[in-house]
Chain A
């Protein structure tokens, strides 16, 4: 933490008569630093409201089922000072609604037409899941997904579906367990698709553009981390009298692994044969790491964005394969020792 980022106090040095006295030996530093900090603050001022403004959708994921219903899963930042939160639903035919607050507790809600009033009571982030029938229509054998999204989102198409019409441009596409997953931008999108009885294995896209995206992202994030570490080291040097060596400790859990190899990897896969291929890779990795890893390690290993990996981990949790614990504010993903209990 750097108290030097607070140039606002310097205003107090301006005297009532309007004269500003500046120490000449520090003038160079002041002149160099002030524009830099000012530029930084301007950027932050522009950026922060976009990133952390209240009631902003952090994650939005849609899954289309083969019967034309859609599952909506979203994470929303809400104002912690408000007692409740009014959510605009994407239609009126809502089913299986679940709202969960900060600590994973169920939040009560009242749904009136296409609005849900959720009692948040100080939660700053809520996760909402529901099914909806309003986003898909069908004419003959052509199904149409039509959605005006408030934010960027992902859309998982049903198995054996083929997209035959699109009104907009996807920004990403990957294949997830024989299902096409599209990344789409905010705004109105219309996607037409048909089902084919043939399993078009040879036709399916095999490259995820997300991988190339992640390399660039990783470089930027890596740069950020290096810069942050450099900054902190410099700060610590400045504060020799107060210094305490621990800033960021990346603890490798793998060194402290608990052997959970009593369960064979094939047993896990046979326990949930419907598990996706990419999820199996995650399970294999956790297994070979001794049964538990940090979610951040998974992201590094599979070069997946946080949201994608978060969904994968939640999927595995729902399947009863893994459990999620907290370790130093990080998610510790552990293979379950007893699969039968969830069966």
Chain B
């Protein structure tokens, strides 16, 4: 029975690796998309080359066409490496052709490194619409009483103005939308700020518990009074901090002390333990894990914590990784 279980475990682990590898390997094993991209570009450029185009451009196009034929040939022969080379050569040639066509159409090739100033503000509208859609979801999360109907009407209006080619009017409407969006954003951030304060306090509380364990550990190790004093002072400062920024400042101060006295060796593992605890908490609310398995997982987590407290980092790390792997199977 144990042999079977061991074998199944091995299969599980291997399949996790295999899935990861497949993502890369399989995706790169469809070189036919290279031909599609190249042909698409070829057809577009062909329609733009005319009698007025320079001989050099026409010659380049011939070379590009030959490269595509070579690309097709290499694909037929399943020679992927060669196909990739032909694809890159083709696209290099087509890029040059595009630039030549541009130069011939406009003697002044203007280089713009930022947004192009176009008259049609469709992209601007689409961008702000995406942003507002995001804001709406967050507003709902905070149960705010923000009324988006005016904004929605303005979006409809701007869309119509763009359809009717009234771009100046559309720009004005978009400007109004942006102004309202800024106001809404500020309102939502005010709501978020209130909740952030309680989240920050909760986080500080957890950090204090962790710090208490560290201070205890430092005392047990017989480290100097100076270190203990610094940590205890930092603890006092953190426990009295209420403002989120002050909390961050105090935690940064503690991290700095820990780094100064090389007390960070188990921080990373503590972080992983916190993550696993979060996963277990989520799983305990679902029926994905039986109570027995859940209890086993919790017990293992306690063992890990015990090893951490005993400075048995290697053992704790191995157990942690095994537990994390198993829990991942049950996560969505």
Contact surface of A with B, Cβ cutoff 8 Å: 1-6, 8, 29, 32-33, 36-37, 39-41, 43-45, 47-48, 50-52, 54, 65-69, 71, 79-84, 93, 95-96, 98, 100, 104-108, 119, 121-122, 124, 129, 131, 133-134, 137-142, 152, 158, 162-167, 169-173, 183, 192, 194, 196, 198, 200, 203-205, 207, 209-210, 212-213, 216-217, 220-221, 223-224, 227-228, 230-232, 234-239, 242-249, 295-296, 317-320, 328-331, 342-343
A209 CA to B32 CA, complexed, in Å: 9
Considering the complex, which residues of chain B in the window 93-120 have a beta carbon less than 8 Å from any beta carbon of chain A? 94-95, 97-99, 101-103, 105-106, 109-116, 118
- Which B residues are closer than 8 A to A by beta carbons? 1-20, 22-24, 26-28, 30, 32-34, 36-37, 39-41, 43-45, 47, 84, 87-88, 91-92, 94-95, 97-99, 101-103, 105-106, 109-116, 118, 122-124, 126-128, 130-131, 133-138, 141-142, 148, 152, 188-189, 192-193, 195-196, 199-200, 202-203, 206-207, 210, 244, 247-248, 251-252, 267-268, 270-271, 274-275, 278, 282-283, 285-294, 296-297, 299-300, 303, 315, 318-319, 321-322, 324-326, 329-332
* Interface pair A8/B116, CB less than 8 Å apart: no
Q: Give chain A's interface secondary structure class.
A: mixed
Contact A80 B274, beta carbon cutoff 8 Å: yes
- Complex CA–CA separation, A299 to B38 (angstroms): 31
Query: Once the chains bind, are A1 and B3 in contact (CB under 8 Å)?
Result: no
Contact assessment for A105 and B195 in the assembled complex, using a CB-CB cutoff below 8 Å: yes
Q: Assuming A69-B123, A213-B30, what are 4 further A-B pairs, CB within 8 angstroms?
A: A104-B138, A131-B131, A165-B92, A194-B44
Min Cβ gap A121→B in Å is: 4
Contacting B115 at CB < 8 Å: which of A69, A139, A216? A69
B95 with A192: CB separation less than 8 A = yes
Residue with the highest number of chain A CB atoms closer than 10 Å, among B33, B34, B105, B110? B33
B30 touching A212, Cβ below 8 Å: yes
Q: Which residues of A contact B19 (CB under 8 A)?
A: 217, 220-221, 224
Cβ distance B305 to chain A, nearest Cβ, rounded Å: 14
B116 touches A68 (CB 8 A): yes
Query: Which residues of chain A are near B267, meaning CB under 8 Å?
Result: 81
Measured in the bound complex, the distance between the Cα atoms of B199 and A247 in whole Å is 33
The docked-state distance in angstroms from the alpha carbon of A223 to that of B136 is 40
One of B26, B91, B207, B326 near A217 (C-beta < 8 A): B26
**CB-CB < 8 A to B7: which residues of A?**
36
User: A71–B325 contact, CB under 8 A?
Assistant: no
| Residues of A contacting B101 in the complex (Cβ-Cβ under 8 angstroms) | 141
Contact of A81 among B270, B282, B296 (CB under 8 A): B270
Cβ A5 vs Cβ B203 within 8 A:
no
Given contacts A67-B118, A105-B199, A213-B27, contact A2 B9 (CB under 8 A): yes
* Chain B residue at smallest Cβ distance from A235: B5
**CB neighbours of A45 from chain B (8 A):** 318, 321
- Assuming the A-B contacts A164-B97, A220-B15, are A137 and B113 also in contact, with contact meaning beta carbons closer than 8 angstroms in the complex? yes
Bound: A239/B152 CA distance, A: 59
Bound: A98/B139 CA distance, A: 12
Give chain B residues whose Cβ lies under 8 Å from the Cβ of A318.
Answer: 130, 133-134, 136-137
Q: Give 12 pairs: A residue, B residue, CB < 8 Å, sorted on A.
A: A36-B9, A50-B20, A96-B134, A106-B189, A106-B192, A121-B196, A139-B110, A213-B30, A216-B22, A220-B19, A238-B1, A296-B332
Supposing A33-B2, A104-B141, A165-B98 touch, asked if A65 and B325 sit within 8 A by C-beta, the answer is no
Q: Are B329 and A139 in contact (CB under 8 A)?
A: no
- With beta carbons under 8 angstroms apart, the residue of B105, B134, B325 that contacts A98 is B134
A186 to B139 alpha-carbon distance, docked (Å): 34
